[in-house]
A = this chain, B = another copy of it.
């Protein structure tokens, strides 16, 4: 086992295999529907079947793989409609997180946290132009949505939201990629941040219904810029997982 490792991420073979496999699936290197064979993958990665099995099991938990009827795993395939539905679902769940935070009252510390993130986005988004501002927004946007999920203090809601967001195309940051021109991206950032502010305002004012509606509409931004080449296609068309 003294050979050079292909992947250095993580300390155990299981973690490396998990990362490696996830990466290959998300990049679209392994298309949806593909049956994964333990032996083949193990030989390919120069490890035994055990950590491969373990990795596949974890990816099944994430929803990237599905267990095949007679045992084994296959790469889960997503249709264009699945992508739409996953985004819709994220909107519904974030809407629930926002509504519950408003109804039950958000924890002051967590509320302060999300407002700080929002303020930081405010500090550059209105005049953003560089690619650096772009990356910064992506990062802070993800932080905002994580803070939102935590805001109502429900582990259950937070866990489900984490699951849905783990699908790369349903992630709040997914919209950023694939934007053709910088102008459209800037516009999306401004609209998004406006909604962020309104959302926090509604939660603070205990306006549950408004908070829920805003969160749902906010998720729609991700839908705006789905690959146009896919838009006209059949609902049954498989869709690449990657952005």
Contact = CB atoms under 8 A, between A and B. Distances in A.
A82 B155 contact: yes
Interface string A29-72: 00000000000000000000000011001101101000000000
A93 B157 CA distance: 11
A154 interface: yes
A150 to B, nearest CB: 13
Contact of A89 (B85, B88, B156): B156
Contacts of A53: 54
A100 interface: yes
A159 B82 CA distance: 11
Nearest to A50: B50
A156 B86 CA distance: 6
Interface in A61-106: 61, 63, 81-82, 85-86, 88-89, 92-93, 96, 100
Contacts of A155: 82, 85
Contacts of A185: none
Interface in A111-155: 154-155
A164 interface: yes
A160 interface: yes
A88 B155 CA distance: 13
Contacts of A96: 88-89, 92
A164 B160 contact: yes
Contacts of A57: 54, 57-58, 61
Contacts of A156: 82, 85-86, 89
A63 to B, nearest CB: 8
A90 to B, nearest CB: 10
Contacts of A154: 81-82, 85
19 contacts: A54-B57, A57-B58, A61-B61, A63-B159, A82-B156, A85-B100, A85-B155, A85-B156, A85-B157, A86-B156, A89-B96, A89-B156, A89-B157, A89-B160, A92-B92, A92-B93, A92-B96, A160-B160, A163-B163
Given A57-B58, A57-B61, A89-B160, 4 more contacts: A53-B54, A57-B57, A82-B154, A85-B156
